[in-house]
Amino acid sequence: MQKVAFLGLGLMGSRMAARLLMAGVKLTAWNRGAERAAALRDRGATIAASPREAVWDADVIVSMVADDEASRSVWTGENGALAGARSDAVAVECSTLSPAWVLQLAERAAVAGLGFADAPVTGSKPQAEAGELLFLVGGDREVVERARPVLQPMSREIVHVGPVGSGARMKLVNNFMSGVQAAALAEALAFVEACGLEAGAAMSVLMNGAPGSPLVKTVGARMMGRDYDVNFLLTLMRKDIAYAIDEAQRHGVTLRTAAAARELYDAAIADGRGGADFAAIAESVPGKPASHDRRR
């Protein structure tokens, strides 16, 4: 049984780590806020005081944090994971990050003697809780296979999409499209309400017709019920869209739809909705009619 260090116990990471414990993995965990680690300690995890302490005896190190800045903090510096990891360990970065930072991190891991894979996930809170995440993995095949037994208890599928950085790029493609769909749906709902159409009937048409992707169905239900309990933070969706715009630009592609969607997410953040689920973008469409019960 491999020893696993898990770094970052937020909305996703806490549920992913719990799946590893359920699978009988010997787990050491770290989180910036110690209170989130208490539940895992009660289920058998060892809780470390720093990333460096967490990884000292780990075969596989998994990180799940918010952004590039958080990832740098976890991996680098005197108390970072790279300073304490064994030279034969495998580092798996599951966060949604800029490919530029992922490639830098891979180089630093190589200098430290570690294998490295970027393995961001698709799915949100329910999928993490059920162990049904889709891992998009970039890295050498041998490293991916060493990490696979650790990823399996958290996943419905593990897709090796190419060399290091490929997982990060594929995740940004996925999330920019998801963010654009949610923004379009928010504007469609505002359009429906402004026209005086019955919102429930209109949403049924959208959900069950050609536009009815899985995202439109799930996010549309949240918008209709004004249920903005967090499955995926609005601020993180905005961050992912920004990373996607920058990475596409590096490759000569201009994501105009993503840029337009980012403006709507910025408006929602300015309205104080950044800490809500990204479905709350529906409340910040310019010209949106005054609130009323959509469920009538």
Residues serving a catalytic function are 171
Name the residue range of residue 276's domain: 169-284
Q: Could you give phi then psi for residue 61, rounded to 5 degrees? A: -115, 125
pLDDT value of residue 35? 85
Please indicate, yes or no, whether residues 174 and 158 belong to a single structural domain of this protein: no
Residue 290 belongs to a domain: no
Any domain includes 289:
no
Across the chain, mean pLDDT equals: 96
Give the C-alpha separation, 166 to 215, whole Å.
23
My answer on whether 34 and 154 are in the same domain is yes
Same-domain check for residues 11 and 139: yes
Positive or negative CA dihedral for 19, 21, 26, 31?
A: positive
117 and 63 together in one domain? yes
Condensed to tens digits (0 to 9), the pLDDT of residues 204-222 reads 999 999 999 999 999 999 9
Number of domains in the chain: 2
Residues 44 and 9 in one domain: yes
Residue 214's domain is classified under what CATH number?
1.10.1040.10
Boundary (domain end) residue, out of 163, 185, 211: 163
Determine, yes or no, domain membership for 293.
no
Helix axes 99-111, 234-250, angle to 10 degrees: 80
In a domain, 296, yes or no: no
Mean pLDDT of all residues in 111-126: 97
Q: Is the residue at 199 inside a domain?
A: yes
Q: Are residues 13 and 36 in the same domain?
A: yes
Is residue 257 predicted with pLDDT exceeding 60? yes
107 falls in which pLDDT band (50, 70, 90)? Answer: very high
> Are residue 216 and residue 231 in the same domain, yes or no?
yes
**Cβ–Cβ < 8 Å for 83, 77:** yes
Burial class (CB in 10 A: 0-12, 13-18, 19+), 56: middle
Domain boundary among 163, 198, 213: 163
Residue 29 sits in the same domain as residue 134: yes
Summarize the confidence of residues 117-135 as an average pLDDT. Answer: 98
Give the confidence band of 293 by pLDDT, cuts at 50, 70, 90.
Answer: low
**Could you tell me which residues are beta bridge partners of residue 121?**
135
For residue 12, what are the contacts with CB-CB under 8 A and spacing of at least 6? Answer: 64, 121, 124, 125, 128
Determine, yes or no, domain membership for 292: no
Domain end: 114, 146, 163, which one?
A: 163
C-alpha span between 183 and 260 (Å, rounded): 9
Does 106 lie in the same domain as 154?
yes
68 within domain boundaries: yes
Nearest CA-CA partner of 82 in 100, 107, 48 = 107
Predicted TM-score of the model (pTM): 0.96
Do residues 105 and 7 both lie within one domain? yes
Q: How high is the pLDDT of residue 1?
A: 73
Closest CA to 29 of 2, 62, 69: 62
Same domain, 132 and 13: yes
Q: Are residue 61 and residue 181 in the same domain, yes or no?
A: no
Burial of 229 (C-beta count, 10 Å sphere; 0-12/13-18/19+):
exposed
CATH code assigned at 84: 3.40.50.720
Residue 39 resides in a domain: yes
Helix or strand or coil: residue 93?
A: strand
